[in-house]
Chain A
């Protein structure tokens, strides 16, 4: 194997340089603050998990997992998301805590390396899980909280698309009759292949009315008025139930004051089988990839032997930082440049000013090779040079 150059990183890995670090820190603090005021408690889980528990339960596809072996030969994964680890904790360490549980996280997660730029294999995700609450109020709460944190982070223009995989599933089952055939249709939507979907529908032995219902699903996107179109496609009890749920959802979001940012999109299928009800994605204008996503996952907790209905969202901090942009107006620290004779005096002044919360760098003069270049990196420079205290250069 050829030796990598000293500055090379593994594929998909990124450095966070000071300017970006500061931006991320400020976003992180704002989001954490809002999330805590809604009563969610932050927690951490290990970076490595067993493949058989968290890896398999996760919504992330198998081929996207980083896998490795521990000393005993167990297969481990670098956690690909935080929902599965938190479900594991809710079903074990927090087993005695009564539902509903409101938990939050802010962690790096890992996905398969990709050759192309713009697709990092490690990135930070901030999110919440509301576990053990089946109500529509819970769905509305996580969507409203997501909107609140995006707003607090400074994002002015964003949109949230809301879909419902339960609706799609009921529609498909009522027309094609069994799960296998419904899964074929769902896969076309999941793969975003509408051309293939339409072709498949045309080739199915269905009445023209049923074909039209399947075709019309693709146009079910827009504001709350689309809900009445939806009931025409699925005029059954199950359909009515889903639509009642969505009507309550939009009313609740209106009460939260976030209904303007929200649109319905019944074609939204974020995953083949993981989600069970309301699903949603957040978008920033001028950013080509979704900022955040989430939804209801009522099956996951039963994999950890504590069946519970749950919902949550995750925000990609790297995408959010990109949407907000680096402003570049970094507040530079001040510097005290001193000679050894006046070291104690310099320390004292620095300590006093640091106690006031000012950023002060102390630098001994003889440690600097180019004084002009060095002092440019500070807002203000105080020289403490020479015995007499007059500080000349």
Chain B
């Protein structure tokens, strides 16, 4: 049995669509089930539905053999897992944003983010000394009410930023979802995992407009 950790929310639909295109028979109720563990017996696969930020944790500890995780989460968590395949879904990018484009004023520049590691690595590389404030959501609020001078967050269309009067001040790096594998499973379940990687990779390389299969 292969256990797959799937991220709930934004990435889930695209990820399960990708698995279907790769020929995995997922039941229709899969998409709106509230169960956290789903067994697909005919495929000998178990799905666990996790919060996106937690997917690499499950995979690193080996309770899931493989998982689908955003590169943003991989950069933030730095888990000991194999990043085997770029699934090229849920594309977006990490960026810095603020109320204006100018230099950060103030005694000690503060950055609000869901990604404290990513943010501090980025500003360290830029040679800028900043202080990080970790938030769990609605990051755009921080500069508006004076909690922080800048935010670091993922941007997909940029609409949330513009609607809140924020502008992007720097691009950090592009983000897509990755297929990740536990280091032990990668060796002990190599045949089934290699097969999955091959099938997924055929879909990914074939582009999104793959013929119905």
Contacts and interface: CB of A to CB of B under 8 A. Distances in A.
Interface of A: 118, 159, 161, 192-196, 199, 219, 221-222, 263, 265, 281, 283, 285, 287-290
User: Chain A's interface: helix, strand, loop or mixed, by majority?
Assistant: mixed
Listed residue (A193, A195, A263, A285) with the most chain B CB atoms within 10 angstroms of its CB: A195
B78 to A, nearest CB: 9
Interface string B170-209: 0000000010001111011010001000000000000000
B187 A283 contact: yes
Given A195-B83, A195-B84, A289 B62 contact: yes
Contacts, number: 48
Interface in B40-84: 60-63, 80-84
Interface string B90-125: 000000000000000000000000000000000000
B187 A159 contact: yes
A219 B194 CA distance: 9
B83 A193 contact: yes
A263 B183 contact: no
Contacts of A199: 86
19 contacts: A159-B187, A161-B187, A192-B83, A193-B83, A194-B83, A194-B85, A195-B83, A196-B83, A219-B194, A263-B187, A263-B190, A265-B187, A283-B188, A285-B188, A287-B184, A288-B62, A288-B184, A288-B185, A289-B62
B25 to A, nearest CB: 26
A290 B82 CA distance: 14
User: Chain B's interface: helix, strand, loop or mixed, by majority?
Assistant: mixed
Contacts of B84: 194-195
Contacts of A219: 194
Given A288-B62, A288-B182, A192 B187 contact: no
A281 B83 contact: no
Nearest to A219: B194
Contacts of A159: 187-188
Contacts of A221: 187, 190
